Amino acid sequence: MTASETTNEKPKTGIKIIIVGAGFGGLVAAIECVRQGHTPIIYESFPSLKILGDIITFGPNAGRIFARWKNGEVAQAMRKISIDLADYGFNIHKWDTGEIVINQKTPPRNDAAPMFNGHRGELHEIVFNYAKELGVEIVLGQRVENYWETDTAAGIVLEDGTKVEGDVVVGSDGVRSKARTLVLGYEDKPKSSGYAVWRSWFSNKDMLADPETRKFCENGDTFNGWIGPDVHFLFSTLKGGSDCCWVLTHRDEHDIDESWSFPGKLSEVKEVLRDWDPMCTKIISKTPEDKLVDWKLVYRDPLPNWVSGYGTASGHGRICLLGDSAHPFLPTSAQGATQALEDGVTLAVLLRKAGKNNVRGALRAYQDVRYERVCKVQKTGETTRDMWHNTDWEKVKKDPTTIQFPREDWIFLHDAEKHAETVGDEMIAKASA
């Protein structure tokens, strides 16, 4: 199937959707809107696409979405730059001794629902380019200053005063979304999760120069984790061992009102790992300090309203939130980006089913279909973190599988498009009553 054929997969609905934010959530929502016959347009404040960030994870429930695009070609491109752990698996180490407690095997590859771990910016570029290939209009360098809606239309006001009109506005501009305040009717400030993450992505040059760390880069892709009291350290090599990436989650009560991200200090990382397996410090010492980020983990419960004019929210029912704007996740869930993708798929299907004359019902049904699942998945970020940070090592000795990273079928086997097609009509009818 070519890109042009994908564009005409469903009849045109006449629904114009304004999407604020060209992250993964916004791009996937736009692509899915094209697949369902709508006309999306994205506004993004960044003036150009930049290959930024470090590792990001997409579970099989996201891979199922990517695999449907362009007869699998997009997923194939993503696979080429993602970690391949088919042979290596995930080595889980005890924090102080360094012993490998268990090697968690990688599930068999499923091309219909692949899993991706790769560089955020590089994977984003693939999705961005595919959206452009489909004809999605992406307007860069345009900051949205305000949102507006009436009973018959919705839109945005740009920084230069330009007023843009459509049928629906989707706020997919992250945890600091301006649309959130409009939908809620008040400013919802984030709270500290009590944790922070140091994270880095760098080349293998210094790792290869040291005989003790060379092993992680000489034999293809690897994934190792050290689990300790209120800390966990995850280290990967990717692209055949040429790139290195690590994240270290630890206790931190920093004032999140200042900033959520800072340049990191290697000395602080080494202090946290002082009594740990020396290999952890060895890896840290190979990290260029200018590649280190100190990221404060802010947290919100899923907002009570994602849609204007619904529940306690004021408005006309034509503005909605998607992804982190509505439900930010902790990284230990490994599902934050994936849930944003499920949002976009669900919204696109429901808008097609409801039609242009019932946008209000579609958006309400979107919240109803997604809310319970998102709440449940979001909690896994806390439970996984707490499981690792409070490990009962006597219990692990008896059953090492208790420390494995959870891979739950109810999360991974979910098919957002199929689910929305199945329950959509009923949910729209209920929401429209």
Q: Which residues are catalytic?
A: 199
- Identify the residue whose tokens are 């929401």: 431
Instruction: Give residues with Cβ within 8 angstroms of 30, minimum separation 6.
Output: 17, 19, 40, 41, 42, 131, 136, 138, 344
Q: Is 190 helix (H, G, I), strand (E, B) or coil?
A: coil
Measured CA to CA, the distance from residue 253 to residue 282 in angstroms comes to 27
Instruction: Identify the bridge partners of residue 139 per DSSP, sorted by sequence position.
Output: 43
- Identify the residue whose tokens are 């993450």: 197
Instruction: Identify the bridge partners of residue 247 per DSSP, sorted by sequence position.
Output: 199, 234
**Structural contact between residues 104 and 92, judged by C-beta atoms closer than 8 angstroms:** yes
Between strands 261-263 and 243-251, the pairing is unpaired
Measured CA to CA, the distance from residue 25 to residue 177 in angstroms comes to 13
What tokens does 135 get? 């004809």
**Structural contact between residues 97 and 277, judged by C-beta atoms closer than 8 angstroms:** yes
Q: How far is CA 258 from the centre of its chain?
A: 24
What tokens does 183 get? 């939908």
Would the CA dihedral through 392, 394, 400, 402 be positive or negative? negative
In the chain the first and final C-alpha atoms are separated, in Å, by 39
CB atoms within 10 A of CB 181: 14
Instruction: Give residues with Cβ within 8 angstroms of 179, minimum separation 6.
Output: 20, 147, 169, 171, 173, 319, 321, 325
Go through 138-169 and write b for each residue having 16 or more CB atoms within 10 A of its CB, e for each that does not.
beeebebeebbbeeebbbbebeeeeebebbbb
Measured CA to CA, the distance from residue 183 to residue 319 in angstroms comes to 7
What tokens does 42 get? 């994205």
DSSP 307: B
**Structural contact between residues 261 and 237, judged by C-beta atoms closer than 8 angstroms:** no
